[in-house]
Structure 1
Amino acid sequence: MLDALTAAASLTIDDVRAAHARIEPYIHRTPVLTSTYLNELTGAELFFKCENFQKAGAFKVRGASNAVFGLNDEVAVRGVATHSSGNHALSLSYAAGRRNIPCHVVMPRTAPEAKKAAVRGYGGLITECEPSTSSREAVFAEVQAQTGAEFVHPYNDPRVICGQGTCSLELLEQAPGLNAVVAPIGGGGMVSGTCLTLSNLVPEIEIYAAEPEQADDAARSFRAGHIIADDAPVTVADGLKVPLKENTWHFVSNHVRDVQTASEQEIVDAMRLIWQRMKIVMEPSSAVPLAVILRNPEVYRGKRVGVIVTGGNVDLGKLPWNEG
C-alpha cells in the first residue's frame, strides 16, 4: 500500500485501479449528464461528470476513502487528521466514520457554515484557524502533535491522488472518445488524479485546469515553471484557494496542456447557468470549468469534452447571485 512519502512520479495506473477496488463499497459511481443547450452555446459536446452527487457531496471522498481504508489497524486506531476549507474535511470525516475511527479537522473560521455542519454531522472534530495557508498549517501542527493522528493531506498525498484518479477511470467508460477533460484546480488533487489516469490510458486526451483569476497561482506557476504560492487569495470559489505542492506540481507541470482562468463574474454566471439549465446544485468551484470553456470557445469547439463537476456543498443561504 502507498504511504504519504511515496513520490508522485512512482504512481501507476495499477495504483488507481487498486484504489477503485478499495473504495467502491463507500462511494457512488456518479452519473455523466449532458445539456443540448450548453453544447449549442459552446460549440462542443460537454459531458459533465457529476461528483456533486458523490457521497459527502464532493469528489474528495474518493481520495479520503482510499487513504482511510488503506491504513493498517495499528495506525488507524489513532485516527486521521487534516486541514481543509471544507470538502476534504467532510469527506475524511465521512470515511473515518465508516471505519469507526476519529477524525480531527482544522478549518478556516471563514469556511462555509454548510461545510462545517457537514463535518460535524459525519463526526469530525473541528479546530478553527485564520483563513490563510500559514495559519492553517501552524494550527494543524498543534492538533497533530496532541492527537498522534495520521495526516491525510487534502491533495499532496499519493493515496489521495490515486483516489481522485478513479473519477476519470469511470468517466472514460461512461463517455468514450473524449478529446479533452477540464477540471478545477486549487491544490491540484483532482487534476493530478486526472493526469495520472489519462496519461496512462489515453495520453492523447488534452487535460486543462480551470482556475479563478483572483486565485491564479497555478496559472502563474504553470507559466513560470515553478510553484508560486498565494497565502490567502479571495474568490467566490472557496475550494480553490490553496496552492500547489510538490506531488501535484509533478502532474501539472508534466501533463496539463494549459491552466485557464475565469473572472469572478464569469464563475458566478456559469454556476447560475448550470443551475438553470441542468437543474443540478453545484458549488462555485465546480463552475470554473464551464466558465473557462465559455471564455475560450476556440479551444473546445468541435470537441468531446469531459467536465468534472467537483462538488455540490453550497451554502443555500448565501448564493453568490443574491449577494451584493
Structure 2
Amino acid sequence: MKTNSTLFKLLAVILLHFFVSMSSYSQNLLGNSNFNNGNSMWALSGMNVEVNAESVYGGSNSSNRVAEVDALVGLRQKVEVTAGKTYRFDFKASRRTRGSVPAVVGIRVKITGSNSNIEYVNTTRTYNNTAFSYSAETGSFSLVSGSVDNAVIIEISGYNNSSSHGVIVDDVELSAVSASSLPVQWISFIAERKGNNTLLSWKTSSEINNAFFIVERSMNGANFDSIGLVSANTFKTYSYNDNNAQPGSNYYRLKQVDIDGKFSYSKILMIKTVNNGEELKVFPSVANQHINLSLNLASNSRVTIQLVDAGGRVVLSTRKELVAGFNQQTMDVANLNAGSYYLQVISGDGVLNKTKSFVKIN
C-alpha cells in the first residue's frame, strides 16, 4: 500500500507540472496560420491571396504550404482580442529565390483596431537573401483597458516592390502574452504640456537587448508618424521634447526596438496643445503614406484642398466644409509618385489662402 501511495503522489506531481507547463503557452488566435488550408481565413475584404508549396518559390520543402506577398497578393485576417491585454505576433519570411525576383523585396505589417482604426502596428521588413532562408520576425502591442476594439485586422502587404515576385511568409501567429515576458518592462509613460510643446517622459524597470525608442505622433490617434529617436541607456530613464506639437489633440506612443530588430509598442497618450496662431501647417514634411494639415479659419468656410506636383499639375483635389477656428485633416498620399509637392488651400471665392510644400517618398 505504501508503494502505491508513493506512485500516486509521483503521478500527481507529474500531472501538475504538465498542466502548469501547458498553461504557460498561449493559444494562437489566428486561423490557418500555416496555410495548410490554402487561402482560407486570409482573404478578408477581397484580399487576393496566393498559396503554394514552398518549393514553387525556391524552398526545398514540397509539402510545406506557404503564402507569397508582393504587389498583387497579400494577407488579411480579422481576429478577436480583449481590451487591457498584450499580444505578440510572430511569423517567418524569406525573399523568393525562384523566378525573376527584385534584389530587395519587402512587406508591410499592419495591425489595426476594427472599431477605432488605431494602427497598433505599422512596420516594414525587407529581404535580400540569395538562398531561400527564413528570418524569424516578432513584435508586440497592447490594448488599453476600456479600448473599444474587440477585434483587430492583421494585414501583410507588399512594400518597396512593384513586381509579382516578392516575399514568402509562413507560420503567422498572434497570441496573448504576459507583459512581464516582453524585453522591456514599462514603469511609466507620461506626457506634459509645456507651452506649445509636449514633454514626454518614461521609465523602465528592466531591459533585455534594448537598442532604442522611436517616438511616434498622430493627430487622429490612428495614423502615426515617427518624430524622434532616443537611444537606450543604463539609467532606464528617458525624455523627449516635441517642439513641433500641433494645435489640438496630439497622440503619442513609443516603439521600443531590440538590437535584433524585434519591437514592441507602449500605450498611447493624448495631450491637447493650444492654438499657436499659424494659419496652415503640413506635416510630416517627408511623407510615405499620408500627410496631415492644420488650418485656422476666421469663419465657417467651404475650401478646396489641392495637391500640386513640381510640374504644376493638380494630382488631387477635394472640397471640405470647415469651421471657424482650428481644423485638422488627413490626406492619403500613398499612391503618389515620389517627388516634391505643394498643398494649396483655396477659399470659396477662389482666392488662394496658403501654400505649403512636402516631399513624397516610396
Judge same fold: TM > 0.5, yes or no: no
- Greater share of strand: 2
**Which of these two proteins has the greater Rg computed from alpha carbons?**
2
> Which structure's relative contact order is higher, taking Cα pairs within 8 Å and 6+ residues apart?
1
TM-score by length of structure 2 reads 0.24
